[in-house]
Structure 1
């Protein structure tokens, strides 16, 4: 193993614990995998490193698919795919879309944080044109109802333009509020 692999990586010392966290944990592990140059090692090292970092739960998983002719326990990509199948519950598209449609901007939440969350949720909805759905959800559910009304008068507005206008409106609102404090 290379010296870089032996070095600890902050943030990955915590092992994986909950199935809903798997996609995020796997993404962090992929970054770790590249940073430590683990990707330059052979498949057996990759698989064992993955299992070690996932923790005790992972020790049992390969035994469930060892008999699968397509899966070799030293093939990192195939093992990772099997882990995905094991940890990621089947997506309930109707429920994900309900969550998306009920997601409104919370009081005090920035437009940027709201839009980021909308993009996170919409990825599970399996919509054909996610930008169109993001645009509509943003327009109909932002806290600034006056801006919402104005945006609805723009039939060809793009998601980018709607986000820009919402963020600009938020900035101007904060600036005007700050000006009022200075004058008081």
Structure 2
């Protein structure tokens, strides 16, 4: 397979995170990190990375993230947002 053909592969996003089973966070976040790296998302602007994470987690992610009192600027920083979820889920 050529490099250009590999670049055109579209990976499905992971299933949405189920907030009713918070103990699944480590497994789900690991799966998202695999998607993040394999899809090339890691090369995109951070705000897109963060929005993709929140979109994949679905609406409750915004509620949880807002409960952490994260600043508007930090909401655009992928690593910071991921850390806030790790803290929330006590990982």
SS state at 2:75 partner:
coil
Say whether the 8 Å CA contact 2:11–2:39 is kept in structure 1. no
TM-score computed with the length of structure 2 as normaliser: 0.76
CA RMSD of aligned residues (A): 2.4
Residue 83 of structure 1: aligned partner:
85
1:59 and 1:67 mapped to 2: Cα distance?
A: 13
The gaps in structure 2 that reach 5 residues or longer are 1-6
Alignment correspondent of 1:20: 23
Partners in 2 of 1:19 and 1:50 — Cα distance?
16
> 4+ residue runs of structure 1 moved beyond 4 angstroms?
none
User: Which structure 2 residues correspond to residues 68-107 of structure 1 after superposition, within 5 A?
Assistant: 72-88=74-90
1:43 aligns with 2:55: no
| Larger radius of gyration between Structure 1 and Structure 2 | 1
Structure 1 residue ranges without an equivalent (≥5): 90-184
**Higher relative contact order (Cα pairs below 8 Å, separated by 6+ residues):** 2
Distance of 2:48 and 2:71 partners within structure 1: 21
TM-score (norm 1): 0.40
Aligned length: 82
